[in-house]
């Protein structure tokens, strides 16, 4: 049973990376046969969709798959053969990071058919989850309507892979080990540190529970 975790943060082991690893660990703890792999997008050299439409050329060698040749290209077919996929990103300007957006363009666009139903060429159904980390507290996240802003991409992923994605929001994150080095007086370092100490372990536990839930989803697939 294979799960991929896609890290859309430039910091591989800070908030997003840590939460993502907990999801993968929760998945692995639930299955003796689990295989987990974390992909750090910022370690790869690639770009988003270049609108070549080779993935839609009838009879072409790249129909249904991305034709762009870079470091992301060889990973995409492996991801499509997995049983579960976790998409993890910090929130930048009310959205996922640019690298994550580029990844999703390359993963999803070749799979959607321009027929009346916008049907999918995904080789199998795939259980997915979105994990978001952000500096803002939960009440501000809701006031700024982050869930509504993020829903369209979640919908595309669900339609493509046949299952509605699970979701996890991690709010009010601790951004630095030493706030005195940065222009950051709008935030209270003491409050951020307390959040990190008291709430982040709870977020990590929720992430492990999410991984276990994904494993159960896969196990329940006929």
Question: Hey, CA dihedral for 205, 159, 216, 124, is it positive or negative?
Answer: negative
Q: What crossing angle do the helices spanning 146-161 and 98-108 adopt, rounded to 10°?
A: 30
pLDDT at residue 37 is higher than 80: yes
Compute the mean pLDDT over every residue in the chain, rounded to the nearest whole number: 93
Q: Which sequence spans correspond to the domains of the chain?
A: 2-219
Calpha distance 25→142 (Å, rounded):
29
CA 48 to chain centre: 16
pLDDT of residue 222: 64
pTM, two decimal places: 0.93
The CB density around residue 183, as the number of other CB atoms within 10 Å, is 6
Edge-first strand order for the sheet with 84-90 is: 35-40, 2-7, 84-90, 127-133, 166-170
pLDDT of residue 104: 98
Task: Domain 2-219: give its CATH code.
Answer: 3.40.50.360
Q: Render pLDDT for 70-96 as a digit per residue (tens, 0 to 9).
A: 999 999 999 999 999 999 999 999 999
């Amino acid at each position: 049973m294979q799960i991929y975790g896609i890290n859309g943060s430039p910091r591989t082991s800070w908030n997003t990376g840590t939460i993502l690893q907990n999801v993968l660990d929760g998945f692995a703890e639930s299955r003796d046969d689990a295989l987990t792999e974390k992909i750090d997008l910022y370690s790869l050299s690639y770009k988003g969709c270049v609108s070549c439409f080779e993935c839609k050329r009838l009879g072409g060698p790249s129909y249904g798959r991305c034709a762009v040749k870079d470091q992301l290209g060889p990973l995409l077919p492996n991801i499509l053969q997995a049983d579960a996929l976790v998409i993890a990103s910090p929130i930048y300007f009310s959205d996922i990071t640019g690298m994550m957006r580029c990844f999703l363009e390359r993963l999803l666009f070749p799979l959607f058919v321009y027929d009346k139903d916008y049907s999918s060429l995904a080789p199998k159904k795939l259980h997915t989850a979105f994990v978001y980390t952000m500096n803002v507290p939960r009440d501000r996240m809701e006031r700024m309507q982050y869930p509504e802003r993020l829903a369209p991409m979640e919908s595309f992923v669900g339609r493509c892979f046949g299952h509605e994605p699970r979701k996890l929001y991690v709010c009010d994150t601790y951004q630095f080990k030493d706030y005195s080095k940065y222009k950051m007086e709008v935030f209270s370092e003491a409050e951020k540190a307390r959040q990190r100490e008291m709430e982040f372990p709870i977020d990590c536990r929720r992430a492990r529970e999410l991984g276990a839930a994904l494993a159960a989803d896969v196990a329940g697939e006929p």
